[in-house]
Amino acid sequence: MKVLLIDDHPLILSALKTVIQGLGDDLEVVGVHSAAEARATLALDPEFDLALLDLQLGDANGFDLLAELRSAYPALPVVIVSASDRASDVIRSIDLGAMGFVPKRSSTEILFEALRLVMSGGIYVPQMAMGLAGAAAVAAAQARPLREEPEALRTVGREALQSGYQSTPSSLATLGLTPRQTDVLALLLQGKPNKLIARELGLSVETVKDHVAAVLRALGVNTRTQAVLAVSQMTQGSASPGWRRSGQ
């Protein structure tokens, strides 16, 4: 398995490389310091299985590079690893096609969890950003100790609520989706547009639009990005074990 790390800070790049290599003996990890190096590396060898991308690069805007990678290499999962944990950055990253968002202040265990979830087909977002997206999680956050930066959490909560995000069912099983709606949701979570979903499922675009609308209603959300965040919240604890650290 091949992993591409893109970060212009040498110490962080070295630390990430060490951590990722600890996920398994069969991993090949390549680190690059710029968007230009990332483009050159992928041009020579596009067969990477995962990319970790910092949003702050010296030669490019991380969001722009994310959009570029998702367009040029749609089969390559990209996980953002950023010093930011702002809800707006999380939402924008997922909206542009990132399969995960991990703040750099996260523990190694959280990074492992995020990468296992992404490689098993899920989408990872930080618990802080997700926790205040719904009413139940707001209550849970308020019960946490003060040392967990409640003001920062409240700020994220306000941003999430202002975006129109509503509380969602606690599990996918409670949604009551039809098999075809479930198929549409699976492709929607991959960031595929209605036309491509219609082509893959052999449906008309109008039928896909109806299914998407039904899925959004079932999730209690208004946009595709909010749907991604809602499903991530439901499934975050049920990722396949996937990778194991050496010795486990």
Q: Quick check: 31 pLDDT over 60?
A: yes
Q: Which residue has the higher pLDDT, 106 or 226?
A: 106
Pairing mode, if any, of strands 2-6 and 78-82? unpaired
Q: What is the CATH number of domain 2-129?
A: 3.40.50.2300
Q: What percent of the chain has pLDDT over 70?
A: 74
Residues 6 or more apart in contact with residue 4 via CB below 8 angstroms:
30, 31, 32, 38, 41, 42, 48, 50, 51, 52
In CATH, what is the architecture of 172-238? Orthogonal Bundle (1.10)
Q: Say if residues 119 and 79 touch (Cβ distance below 8 Å).
A: no
Residues 6 or more apart in contact with residue 142 via CB below 8 angstroms:
150
**For residue range 204-219, what is the model confidence (pLDDT) as tens digits?**
989 999 999 888 888 8
Rg (CA), the chain: 18
Q: Distance between CA 133 and CA 127 in Å, rounded?
A: 10
Q: Distance between CA 240 and CA 244 in Å, rounded?
A: 11
**For residue range 179-204, what is the model confidence (pLDDT) as tens digits?**
888 888 888 877 777 888 999 999 99
Q: Distance between CA 70 and CA 13 in Å, rounded?
A: 22
In this prediction, residues 232-242 reach a mean pLDDT of: 51
DSSP bridge pairs for 41: none
Residues 6 or more apart in contact with residue 162 via CB below 8 angstroms:
none
Sign of the CA dihedral 212, 216, 222, 224? Answer: negative
Q: Say if residues 140 and 133 touch (Cβ distance below 8 Å).
A: no
pLDDT of residue 143: 33
The structural domains of the chain, with segments of one domain joined by +, span 2-129, 172-238
Sign of the CA dihedral 170, 236, 132, 137? Answer: positive
In this prediction, residues 4-23 reach a mean pLDDT of: 87
pLDDT of residue 173: 64
Reference 51, options 90, 100, 15, 96; nearest CA is 100
Q: What percent of the chain has pLDDT over 90?
A: 26
SS3 content of the chain, % helix, strand, coil (to 5): 55, 10, 35
Output DSSP code: residue 247.
T
Q: Say if residues 123 and 99 touch (Cβ distance below 8 Å).
A: yes
